[in-house]
Amino acid sequence: PIKHDKKVLEAIGKKLKKNSVALDIVDFGEEDDGKPEKLEALLAAVNNNDSSHIVHVPSGPSALSDVLI
């Protein structure tokens, strides 16, 4: 679960962007209320020239590697 709110994640993303950090996020597991929106906000704050990416993996019987490869 993501314990921080959207504003905190956006602030973290801005700090990472300021330090030229790219971020790749793999969102898997149970869906918490608001988790995708929080992760998208983090990605939007850190993304610079499309250098960061996100993959949402739906819950289910498929292996994580099947979705990523």
Give the predicted TM-score (pTM) of the model: 0.86
Q: What pLDDT score was predicted for residue 55? A: 93
Q: How confident is the model at residue 68 (pLDDT cuts 50, 70, 90)?
A: confident
* Predicted local distance difference test score (pLDDT) of residue 16: 97
Chain-centroid distance of CA 33 in Å reads: 14
| All structural domains of the chain with their residue ranges | 6-68
pLDDT tens string 9-58:
999 999 999 999 999 999 988 878 889 999 999 999 999 999 999 999 88
H or E segment to which residue 9 belongs: helix 6-18
Q: Is 63 helix (H, G, I), strand (E, B) or coil?
A: coil
